[in-house]
Amino acid sequence: MVSAQLGTTFNPEYLSMSIDHPICEARALDVSFGSPAVEVLRGVDIEVRPGETLAILGPSGCGKSTLLRALCGLLQPSGGEILANGTRLEGVHPGVSIVFQSFALLPWLSVQDNVGLGVNGLDLTDEVARRRITECIELVGLDGFEHAFPKELSGGMKQRVGIARALARSPQLLCMDEPFSALDVFTAETLRSEVYRLCREADEDLDESRAIEGLRSVLIITHIIEEAVFLADRIVVMSARPGEVQCVIDNTVPHPREYHDPAFESMVRRLHTRIVEGEDLDEFDQVVGTADGRLEVLPEVTMSEIIGVVEVLHDHGNSMDLFDLDEETEEELGRLLSLVKAGELLDLVDTDGNRVSVTAAGTSLLGAESSDRKDVLASQLQRLNVMQWVIEQVSQSGEDGADREDLEVALVRRQPHGASTLHSLLAWARFAEVLSWTAEDGTITLGGAVYRG
Ligand code: ADP
Ligand code: MG
């Protein structure tokens, strides 16, 4: 026992690890885009430590890709700083390579040449470069396809090329931005297992793996809880609008990881609860005060999806735990939360902590004949200030209707999410026949179901 402890203490590798700086670090990072500025990330503090696999988990649009770009030095922060191996990063991080969701292969280059892009600009002899390319192609199981072109490859194979190209740089840190989300579930699962092996190898003794020599850490970006729990040592949970770190969780699930392990399932459940707690279901009520009253921020979801959720609730006794509702609808959690928020704004559902219930209006919607459903939806929609505001604008525009772009400009001035809110609102309003418009000329007119007065 004593000797084992001494062994650990005097292991030079251990010592050097403990004094190593994070490979990448964001301190009080702010990122805003455009003018007027839209805040995408606020006060983000994260670090990627040597030897770890870190997951950044958050709903779509919360700023994960933006955070990744900032960490790699691909975009200039609006505030705070980025450190690379302990010093302030100027330009692009030299030790990082990225695997993209969209594969980002050059169609006119063969597999070999695409992977070869990874060693571009490195100070290698031709011989070493060639060997490294071959090793990386073997590592991802593409030997035999060296001379194939991207269009001849399946999605999974394309992503293997993306991974091989990233590894060919011999990065300290391999970053993967939702690398499996463009693949079918089976391919995604296979590739995820292979990346798991890669992360484990990066974690363990470096001697064993030739091609990934030097690889210390992996950063994986995902919106899937299970993926984070499967791959990562630590999980950074982000919340949206603006993107902030909600919490960082040490993933204690033992290796080898199995989805149906009780420890695995309990970690998934724990993350689930944390995400739901952190997501303030009243968040969409926080709107900017205007002379016209408060114009609500609407989530980007469709009316049929909202009705779908009300129907699932109805089929389960009109009230469900958010977690069960998520399982039942098979929606990504972030998306489900948007749907629930939308249902709540329309007063079709009600939330109390994690419980979601159908309201009286929701019940009458489901009970109505399909032709009457539009009337129920129209009257629910007209409870929204933002709907009333749009109707007023359209009414004032005379018989020819209102110009969509003008409306958007006017709404964006009153509310920071004006563009996406208008997008949702117009689609909902057309669904309920409150407004009508033709995409061709972008003119919006009042529909048949508007109740004046
Ligand atoms: P995620 O990767 O979590 O889905 P992103 O980082 O891609 O989110 O985007 C976060 C938000 O920032 C989105 O609302 C997106 O529209 C916005 N955004 C990202 N890049 C830019 C940019 N270059 N200019 C303006 N807005 C941007
Ligand atoms: Mg992204």
179, burial (CB in 10 Å: exposed 0-12, middle 13-18, buried 19+): buried
Local confidence band at 204 (pLDDT 50, 70, 90 cut-offs): low
CA of 225 to the centre of ligand 1 (A): 21
Contact 41, 243 (CB under 8 A): yes
- 240 Cβ below 6 A of ligand 1: no
Domain extent listing, the chain: 2-275, 285-453
- 33 Cβ below 6 A of ligand 1: yes
Which ligand is located closest to the Cα atom of residue 101?
A: 2
CA of 287 to the centre of ligand 1 (A): 21
Taking domain 2-275, whether its CATH number is 3.40.50.300 is answered by: yes
Bridge partners of 402, per DSSP, are: 444
| Cα–Cα distance for residue pair 188/451, rounded to 1 Å | 50
Local confidence band at 278 (pLDDT 50, 70, 90 cut-offs): low
Long-range contacts of 121-127 (CB under 8 A, 24+ apart): 122/169, 122/170
Q: Would you say the pTM of this structure is higher than 0.85?
A: no
* Sheet hosting strand 38-48, strand order edge to edge: 38-48, 24-33, 79-84, 87-88
Q: Is 210 helix (H, G, I), strand (E, B) or coil?
A: coil
Token pair in block for residue 204: 């363990």
CA of 1 to the centre of ligand 1 (A): 52
Share of the chain above pLDDT 90, in %: 56
Token pair in block for residue 119: 């060693």
- 56 Cβ below 6 A of ligand 1: no
pLDDT for 23: 95
Share of the chain above pLDDT 70, in %: 88
> Does residue 18 have a pLDDT over 50?
no
Atom of ligand 1 nearest to the CA of 223: 3
> Does residue 82 have a pLDDT over 90?
yes
**Overall average pLDDT of the 407-415 stretch:** 85
Average pLDDT, the chain: 85
pLDDT for 267: 92
CB atoms within 10 A of CB 128: 12
Token pair in block for residue 330: 């098979």
**Lowest mean pLDDT: which of 93-107, 157-171, 394-408, 422-436?**
394-408
Counting ligand 1 atoms within 8 A of each CB, the residue from 35, 44, 65, 66 with the most, and so the one to mutate, is 66
375 — phi, psi (to 5°)?
-65, -40
**What Rg, from alpha-carbon coordinates, does the chain have?**
26
What pLDDT digit, counting tens, does each position of 84-137 carry? 999 999 999 999 999 998 899 999 999 999 999 999 988 899 999 999 999 999
CA of 358 to the centre of ligand 2 (A): 33
